[in-house]
Amino acid sequence: MPETAEIAALIIRDGNVEYDKRDIIIQQRSGKLQHISELNPSYLSLQYPMLFPFGEDGYHVGILRKGELIVSQSEQKKRTKINMREWFAYRLQERKDEFSTILFGRKLLQQFIVDGYSMVESGRLYYVRNNQGNLRSETYKNIKKANEDGISDVSSVGKRVILLSSFTAGARYMMQNYLDVMALCRTYGHSDLFLTLLAILSGQRL
C-alpha cells in the first residue's frame, strides 16, 4: 500500500489504442441509456452532485469571455470564448465573501482536479492529433536519416503524432527547457544552488 497521500488518474485500455472521447452513459427517466460527451454542460453536475448541489452547468463550448479579449499572436484574431483550462482555473480560485462547495470537497476535490486535468490534457491531445498537417516538419532528424539511408517510404518512420514543444511534459518541451538552461549557464555561469518546489494537495484547504 502507498505510504504517501498521492492521487493518480487510472486510464482504461491500452495506451497505444486511440480513442477520442470517454464512454459516458446516463440513464434517462424513461429508462433508456444515452451517451453524452464530457463537454455536455450537465456532465460535471451529474458526476459530482455534492460539488454542484444546484445542478449548475459545467464547462461547454461557447462560454463567452467577459472583459479584455485575448489576441492570438499567430492568427491575430480576437478570442471571445474561454477554453476548458480557464474554466477550471476560475472555479478553483478562492474568492473573498464567496463560498465554494468545490474548495470544501476534501478528497472529492482531489478527484475533481484530477478529472479536470485529464479533460484538459485530452482536449489538447485531440487538437494536436487532428492538426498534424499544420504541425509536422520535414526536417526531423529521424526522417532525414531514413531518407539518407535510402528508405523511400518514410510514412512508418518515427512517431505518428508529433507533440509541440509547447506541450507540457512532452519530449520536445523537455529538450527546449534543457537547451534554455544550458544557454543560461553559458551566459551567467554554472549554478551552485538548486531549489525544488513541490506543492502537495491534501484533504485540507491550501
Q: What pLDDT digit, counting tens, does each position of 106-162 carry?
A: 889 999 999 999 888 888 888 887 777 666 554 455 555 655 666 555 555 555 677
Residue 73 lies in a domain: yes
**Chain-centre distance for alpha carbon 46:** 21
Residue 165 lies in a domain: no
* DSSP character at residue 191: -
Residue 69 lies in a domain: yes
Burial code of 115-147, b = ≥16 C-beta within 10 A, e = fewer? Answer: bbeebbbbbbeeebeeeeeeeeeeeeeebeebe
Q: Which three cell numbers stand for residue 29?
A: 427517466
Residue 178 lies in a domain: no
Go through the chain and tell me how many residues it has.
206
Backbone dihedral region for residue 52 (phi beyond 0: left; psi -120 to 50: alpha; all else: beta): beta
- Distances 70 to 34, 141, 164 between C-alpha atoms, Å: 36, 35, 21
Which residues on adjacent β-strands are paired with residue 3?
Answer: none
Rounded to whole angstroms, the Cα distance separating 121 from 58 reads: 17
Would you write out the chain's pLDDT as a tens digit for each of its 206 residues? 666 666 666 666 554 545 556 778 888 888 899 888 888 888 999 999 999 999 888 888 888 887 655 555 555 567 788 889 999 999 999 888 888 899 998 889 999 999 999 888 888 888 887 777 666 554 455 555 655 666 555 555 555 677 777 778 778 888 888 888 889 888 888 877 777 665 544 444 43
Residue 89 lies in a domain: yes
Instruction: Decide if 120 contacts 85 (C-beta within 8 A).
Output: yes
- Distances 87 to 7, 83, 90, 109, 146 between C-alpha atoms, Å: 22, 6, 5, 15, 44
Task: Kindly give the pairing relationship between strand 24-27 and strand 70-71.
Answer: unpaired
Residue 112 lies in a domain: yes
Domain that holds residue 45: 30-130
Is the Cα torsion angle 88, 91, 95, 101 positive or negative in sign? negative
Residue 68 lies in a domain: yes
Radius of gyration of the chain (CA): 22
* DSSP character at residue 162: P
- pTM over 0.85, yes/no: no
Residue 56 lies in a domain: yes
Total domain count for the chain? 1
